[in-house]
Structure 1
Amino acid sequence: MGRAYMESIIPRWTVPALAVFTVSGLLVAVPGPAQARAGGVYYVDSEKGDDAAAGTSPEKAWRSLGKVNDARLRPGDVVRLSRGGVWQGPLRLRAKGTAARPVVVEPYGTGSAPKVGGEGTESCVVLGGSHLRVTGVRASGCQWAGFEVTGDDNELDGVLADRNASGVNLVGARNVLRNSVLTRNDRMSVNDNGGDNDSGAFGVLLNGDDNLVSDNVITGSYAASEDYGTDGAAVEVFNGDRNRVVRNIARDNETFAELGARKGRTATGNVFAFNVVTSSRKRGSFLITRGAGHVVGPVLGTVAVQNSVYLPARDTIGWSCHDGCSPAILKLRNNVIVVGGQMGYEDGAGADEGGSVYRGRSRGFKLGSRSVVADPRFRGGNDLRLKPGSPALGRGLKLNPAWYGGASQARDLAGKAPSVVPDAGAYQH
C-alpha cells in the first residue's frame, strides 16, 4: 500500500489541434487548445519567453512557471504552455474557476507535449484550487506525483505522466481523470528492508472521494521492492470512498486495483467497471481487498463488474478478498477472468459473486449464480473481445445502473450499453 499507507515510451506529436499517438497498439487522442472563451490568455515559452514580458501573446510569452504560480488567475482564464517546452516543476495552480468558466492550462504550437518535471521536484503539477482543467501536459520524473490534485471539482483530460512514484494522485473530491496515458510510473516512495511497508509505482492513487477515473491507458506500474520483490498498482485506493474506475485499459502492471484504509478511515463503495486488464509479467493480480482482520481493512462495498482480465503467468491471481471476506466487503458481477494461477480467493463468509467466466489452475472461492469455469475464447492475448460461441455471451446477470457507478457509466469501451441479459466482460456484442 502506498505513500497512501502511511524517455520512456511517450511519443512526440506535431498536430496543434489534436494529438494522436499509439500506446501498445491503441490510438489515443489528446485534446488540443480549447475554444476561445472570455477571460485572459497567457503564454509561457521555456526557450523564447521573458518573465519581464506581458505574457499575453506568443511573442510576449513568459518564460518560467513561477510567473504562472504567482498569477492571480480568474474564472475563464487560459494558460498556454509551448509545445516542446521543458520546465523544472512545480506548476502550482491555486485559482478557483467555476463550472461554466474553468481556469484552463493547455498546449500551443507544434512539437512534443509541454513537459514539467525534474529531479528534486516533489510533485510536478499541483492542482490546489477548484474548477481547473489541465489538458495535453506531460509530468515526468517527479519524486512523488506527476499530477497531485488536492482541490475539488478539477479535471485532467489527455495528460501524460511517466517515471513518477504516482502518475496521478487524486486527494480531493469530485475530480476527473480521463483520456490520459500513464506509463512507467515505476518509482517507489518507500522501499526499505523489513516492516511490510514498501509502497509506490502507482498509475493512479485515490485518496479522495467521488472521483472519476475513466477511459485511460495505464501501463508499467511496477517496481522492485525490498519487502515484496516487486510492487505497484494501476489504481490504488487508500482512504477514498465512492470512486468510479471505468473503461480503462491496463497493461503490464503488478496489480490492477488494490484497496485499503487506515484504521479510523474508510475506503467504501468504490466501483471498477468495464476495465480491460492484461499483463505479460511473471506475477500479478486483478483486484486485492481486505476484511476487518487486516491492518488496512475492512474495505467495505467494493464492486467489480463487467471487467475482462488476462494474466497468463503462473504466479497470478484474479481477485483476493482476505482477512474476513464477506458480501459486505466485495461484490463481483459479470467479469471474465483468465489467469495462469488462482482464479480468485475468499475466506470468511466469502464474496458475493455471479454471472462470470473464469479460467485458471485453481479456484479458492465458491462460484455464484451463472458463473462457470470455461475458456471464454478471447480473440487474443491483448484483444479481449469475445469470439462467436464464447460462454461469456449472454452469461451476465441483469444489473441496474448503480452497479456501474451510475447511468452515465453504464457503457462498454465502444460506448455500447449492456443489454437486458448482458455479456460477461468489458465488451458487449
Structure 2
Amino acid sequence: MERTPMESTRPRWTVPVLAVLAASGLLAAAPMSAEAGAGAGGVYYVDSKGGDDSASGTSPAKAWRSLDNVNAVKLRPGDVVRLKRGSAWRGPLTLDAKGTAAKPISVEPYGKGSAPKISGTDDECVVIEGAYLRVSGLRASNCRWAGFQLGGTRNELDGVLADRNVSGVHVVGAHNVVRNSVLTRNDRMSVNDSGGDNDSGAFGVLLNGDDNLITGNVITGSYAASHDYGTDGAAVEVFNGDRNRVTRNIARDNETFVELGAEKGKTATGNLFAYNVVTSSRKRGSFLVTRGPGHVVGPVLGTVAVQNSVYLPARDTIGWSCHDGCSPGILRMRNNVVVVGGQMGFEDGKGADEGGSVYMGRSRRFKLGSKSVVADPRFRSRDDLRLRPGSPALDRGLKLDPEWYGGTAMAHDLAGNPLSGTPDAGAYQN
C-alpha cells in the first residue's frame, strides 16, 4: 500500500528477539499439569520426537507423532489437543471444529522446554476456521504466508508467538480475539516488485475481518525492504475490515503502527485504536496512516485513535497522516501524546477531528483541537512512556464516554487503571 507523504529508504534494524521471547514467557515455560484445561472433553497428545501415529493419542505415553491425526480427528466441544514443548512440525495444523461458549475446544502446550513450533513455506502454519477454538502457547515460524490464519468466529489466540512470516496473524473471520501474544520480525513481503505502487507485506497483524479484538500484544520488527516504497510494513494493517478494536498493545520498531485502506466497493469503517504504546529506534516511522475519498484505497471512514502514547525520535517520521480528502468523518483523535522527530501530523481537506492531546516535533500540518498543545510531555524515558510530575499531559484529556474506548470493559489504561475524572493524555493514567 502507498505510504505517508514523508517517505524515504531506511535501513533495517535487528530486533532483540530473544529478549522479547524471554519477557513474554514463550522462550521456555514451566510444565503444564495433565489435568489443567481438560474440561469435560477428550484430551489428545502430540509429540514430534517420541510419539507414534498408530497410538491412541490419549496420554503422554501414547502420544501421536504428526499433526495428521489432529487434522483428521473430529474434535468435539470441550476437547483439548496438547502439543509437547520442544516439538517441531511442518504445517499446516488445521482446526475447523466447533466448540461452544461453555465448552470451547483448546489447543495448548504440555511438558517442559520451548514453545511447540510449526513451520513450513508450503502452507499457512495454523489455520483456524471453526468456532469457539482457543489456541495458546504455540509458535508459527517461517510459514508460506501467515503464521496463524484466524477465520471462523468466536475464536481466540492467547500467548502465541509468530515470527518470520509475511503476516504473523491474518484475521479473516469475525468476532475473534488475539491477546497476550508476541509477534516479532514478521518481515517478509508477498508482493515486492518494481513499479505499480503495489508492494505489500511485513505485517504483525493483518485485519481483513470485522469486529475483532487485538489486545495486550507485543508487536516488533514489522518492516521489510520494498522496491516501491524503500521499506514497508505495519504492526497492524487494516484492509477491508470494519469495527475492529486494537487496544493496549506495545509496538516497537515497526515501519508503521497502523495503516488503513479499503478496495473500491468494500469498507474499513469504524476501527478503534486505544491505549497503545508505540516506540521506535529506527530512522523512519509513523503512528497512523489513513485516507480520504481521493485515494485509490480510500475513503476509510470513522477511524478513532484515543489515549495512545507515541515516541518516534528520528527525523524522517510522522505522527499521523490523513490525506486525499481528510475530514472529521475520516479520523477522530482524542487524548493522545505524540512525540516525533519529524512532522507531528498531516491533514488536508476539512481536516481531522482532534483534541485533548500533547504533541512535540519539528513541524505540523494540522490545526490543534480543543485543549491540544505543542509541548514536551516529559516521558520517563524513551522506552517508558509514563508521565513524569509536571507533565503538560496530566489532566490534559477531554472527558469521554466509554464508547470511545470500545465499551465500559475497555475503559482502562495500559496498566489496568480505570478512568476517573479528567483523564491524562496518553496510554497511562497517573
Structure 1 and Structure 2 fold alike (TM over 0.5): yes
Structure 2 residue 282 is the aligned partner of structure 1 residue 278 = no
**For the Cα contact (< 8 Å) 1:31–1:158, is it kept in 2?**
no
> Which aligned pairs between 1:272-421 and structure 2 lie closer than 5 A?
272-421=273-422
Partner of 2:198: 197
Partner of 1:39: 41
What do residues 104-163 of structure 1 show as CA deviations (whole Å, max 9, x unaligned)? 000000000000002x23311000111100000000001210000121110000000000
Work out the CA distance in 1 between the residues paired with 2:343 and 2:192.
28
CA drift of 1:182 comes to 0.4
Work out the CA distance in 1 between the residues paired with 2:27 and 2:61.
34
Q: Which amino acid aligns with 1:252?
A: D
**For the Cα contact (< 8 Å) 2:142–2:164, is it kept in 1?**
yes
Long gaps (5+) in structure 1: 14-19
Please give the secondary structure, in 1, of the residue aligned with 2:114: coil
Long gaps (5+) in structure 2: 3-13
Work out the CA distance in 1 between the residues paired with 2:204 and 2:97.
26
Partner of 2:259: 258
What do residues 369-418 of structure 1 show as CA deviations (whole Å, max 9, x unaligned)? 00000000000001000000000000000000110111111111111112
Change (3 A) 1:40 1:115: same
Work out the CA distance in 1 between the residues paired with 2:72 and 2:405.
41
Partner of 1:104: 106
Change (3 A) 1:21 1:78: same
CA drift of 1:218 comes to 0.3
Partner of 2:115: 113
TM-score, normalised by the number of residues in structure 2: 0.94
CA drift of 1:9 comes to 5.3
Partner of 1:144: 145
Work out the CA distance in 1 between the residues paired with 2:425 and 2:163.
32
Change (3 A) 1:12 1:256: closer
Please give the secondary structure, in 1, of the residue aligned with 2:143: coil
Q: Which amino acid aligns with 2:379?
A: F
Q: Which amino acid aligns with 2:127?
A: V
Q: Which amino acid aligns with 2:83?
A: L
Work out the CA distance in 2 between the residues paired with 1:102 and 1:26.
23
> Which aligned pairs between 1:15-54 and structure 2 lie closer than 5 A?
21-22=22-23, 34-54=36-56
Q: Which amino acid aligns with 2:80?
A: V
Partner of 1:16: none
Please give the secondary structure, in 1, of the residue aligned with 2:112: coil
What do residues 36-73 of structure 1 show as CA deviations (whole Å, max 9, x unaligned)? 31010000000111110000001100011111111100
**For the Cα contact (< 8 Å) 2:177–2:213, is it kept in 1?**
yes
* Aligned partner of 1:86 among 72, 79, 88: 88
Please give the secondary structure, in 2, of the residue aligned with 1:141: strand
**For the Cα contact (< 8 Å) 2:29–2:114, is it kept in 1?**
no
Q: Which amino acid aligns with 1:59?
A: A
Please give the secondary structure, in 1, of the residue aligned with 2:68: helix
Q: Which amino acid aligns with 2:78?
A: G
Q: Which amino acid aligns with 1:108?
A: Y
Change (3 A) 1:380 1:12: closer
Q: Which amino acid aligns with 1:317?
A: I
Change (3 A) 1:183 1:41: same
Q: Which amino acid aligns with 2:122?
A: T
Please give the secondary structure, in 2, of the residue aligned with 1:22: helix
**For the Cα contact (< 8 Å) 1:9–1:183, is it kept in 2?**
no
Q: Which amino acid aligns with 1:248?
A: N
Please give the secondary structure, in 1, of the residue aligned with 2:418: coil
Work out the CA distance in 1 between the residues paired with 2:187 and 2:388.
35
Change (3 A) 1:82 1:161: same
Partner of 1:232: 233
Work out the CA distance in 2 between the residues paired with 1:261 and 1:314.
29
**For the Cα contact (< 8 Å) 2:312–2:341, is it kept in 1?**
yes
Work out the CA distance in 2 between the residues paired with 1:316 and 1:299.
22
Partner of 1:167: 168
Q: Which amino acid aligns with 2:417?
A: K
Change (3 A) 1:326 1:156: same
Change (3 A) 1:246 1:82: same
Please give the secondary structure, in 2, of the residue aligned with 1:422: coil
CA drift of 1:10 comes to 5.0
Structure 2 residue 397 is the aligned partner of structure 1 residue 423 = no
Please give the secondary structure, in 1, of the residue aligned with 2:187: coil
CA drift of 1:193 comes to 0.7
Work out the CA distance in 1 between the residues paired with 2:306 and 2:30.
28
Partner of 2:68: 66
CA drift of 1:26 comes to 12
Q: Which amino acid aligns with 1:68?
A: V
Please give the secondary structure, in 2, of the residue aligned with 1:332: strand
Work out the CA distance in 2 between the residues paired with 1:359 and 1:214.
27
Aligned positions, number: 417
Work out the CA distance in 2 between the residues paired with 1:133 and 1:59.
24
Q: Which amino acid aligns with 1:109?
A: G
Q: Which amino acid aligns with 2:296?
A: V
Please give the secondary structure, in 2, of the residue aligned with 1:148: strand
- CA RMSD, 1 decimal: 2.1
CA drift of 1:11 comes to 4.7
